[in-house]
Structure 1
């Protein structure tokens, strides 16, 4: 069977041009793998929206945006001397062929359960080729595919089973204050990387408090988002539109916010 291939040269050439050290785009030259990740999440979310809406034209566009991000990651890796886009394509193609021996190698399975078990066996053999960053924790946690917040809570719950946890929720509060103080100290230095590190510690501590209070962080944050949207919408409506609202001073905006907040709580 001949496997169809797709030429990505035009896209990889554009990406290389955007990253040209002399004549490239300033914004693209500033990006790194780390800075791309939040934007990639955003693009995937837009892709999911297009799928949910059944909008094929928008789906095509969003797939292109996600693909461009993948090419961007590969370009950065190529510049670092790690790998290029062709290596990415070759590796995933080889992996899919290897994991489907019933399609590409004539293997016969008795049933779907046997096929699924063989898939997991092949996958485990592949994973064994790479060193495990957390050899003692990985068999317990299995959180690699979770979003960051869910991953944090899952890790906290697992360590709780091993006896490493606070007994009561109020014991977490001083830890949150400690992390805030450490973040404030780094804010004085202006060290972006150190601030990000302490900010992550603060988020982790807040998630710990939510876990102890049996609060789902995703739903709590979504509720807070909608509360903020609702109050902001009311402020703008009371001013008769965004232009009038934007013309207010910061103190006037704060006073309006408090008035709306009080009205909603009545």
Structure 2
């Protein structure tokens, strides 16, 4: 059975300037990043579908991305794959003192509090002078994820809605502001600002409701795709969707939705 050394050897061979793969040799950190992000999302999709054979495959693809970046770093003299492994082992040990030390942490919440405190001390040890509760929130993550992180950091120091109801009220307020801007013919910059506020509050609402923002949006996307494809199937016998009025298409949407809900109710 193959092991990590085999994978590292394969990656080295693929990157060989003389006898490797022209595509792999051509890549650099910047060109590989989109694939790394894509593979992470495909892992999330497999988990969401509870497709464990697919998850095994997707985790391999994601591991390849780690090996690819490490190989390029090795070639440039930055670090090696072994350094990546050593760094994460040390980080996990240091950030879990309740497991590998004598710190007490009996709940997941206490663990997260300790984790953030340790990260803050690490940043200070590295000479970081930003003392904000928001320090260290990466700008490289998807914006919905960064919004969630910022909200959690602010909540940790008490800047937090007391429950779901005030967040719902704020969402209604922000939607009203978008409506007002649209009615007043606002420019794109104003609309971008106001719609951004709506999305930020939606993220906060999901957090308060204990809902994973990414999973919620994946479910919504999947539901839309299922129903739209069913609409196309219903319309196929009569020339398809193109050319139909919005009212006619809406009727097909309602039918597709009813079929899906009926199948779910019957356990099909």
TM-score by length of 2: 0.55
Shift of 1:216: 3.3
**Aligned: 1:139 with 2:140:** no
Could you say which residue in structure 1 is the equivalent of 2:5?
A: 9
1:142-177 CA-to-partner distances (Å, cap 9, x unmatched) read 754974224258769x8xx9xxxx99435587553x
Q: Is the 8 A contact 1:153 1:208 kept in 2?
A: no
Shift of 1:139: 1.9
Structure 1 149/141 Cα, relative in aligned 2: closer, same or farther at 3 Å? farther
Q: Is the 8 A contact 2:177 2:194 kept in 1?
A: no
Structure 1 34/9 Cα, relative in aligned 2: closer, same or farther at 3 Å? same
**Superposition map of 1:1-266 within 5 A:** 8-28=4-24, 29-30=26-27, 32-49=31-48, 52-53=50-51, 55=52, 57-101=53-97, 104=100, 107-109=101-103, 112=106, 116=111, 119-130=115-126, 135=130, 139-140=133-134, 143-144=137-138, 147-152=142-147, 168-169=177-178, 170-171=180-181, 174-176=186-188, 206=192, 208-212=194-198, 216=202, 223=220, 226-227=223-224, 229-239=226-236, 256-259=241-244, 261-266=246-251
The alignment's C-alpha RMSD in Å is 4.7
| Distance (whole Å) between structure 2 residues aligned to residue 265 and residue 41 of structure 1 | 35
Q: Give structure 1 stretches of 5+ with no counterpart.
A: 1-5, 180-204, 246-251
1:198-242 CA-to-partner distances (Å, cap 9, x unmatched) read xxxxxxx747415248873866786466445533432245336xx
Q: Is the 8 A contact 1:15 1:72 kept in 2?
A: yes
Q: Is the 8 A contact 2:98 2:104 kept in 1?
A: no
Shift of 1:60: 3.3
| Distance (whole Å) between structure 1 residues aligned to residue 79 and residue 13 of structure 2 | 18
Shift of 1:86: 0.9
Structure 1 99/226 Cα, relative in aligned 2: closer, same or farther at 3 Å? closer
Shift of 1:66: 2.2
Shift of 1:43: 3.1
| Distance (whole Å) between structure 2 residues aligned to residue 17 and residue 101 of structure 1 | 40
Structure 1 211/121 Cα, relative in aligned 2: closer, same or farther at 3 Å? closer
Q: Is the 8 A contact 2:67 2:81 kept in 1?
A: yes
Structure 1 36/220 Cα, relative in aligned 2: closer, same or farther at 3 Å? closer
Q: Is the 8 A contact 2:137 2:149 kept in 1?
A: yes
| Distance (whole Å) between structure 2 residues aligned to residue 22 and residue 260 of structure 1 | 60
Structure 1 110/140 Cα, relative in aligned 2: closer, same or farther at 3 Å? closer
Q: Is the 8 A contact 2:43 2:55 kept in 1?
A: no
Shift of 1:120: 4.7
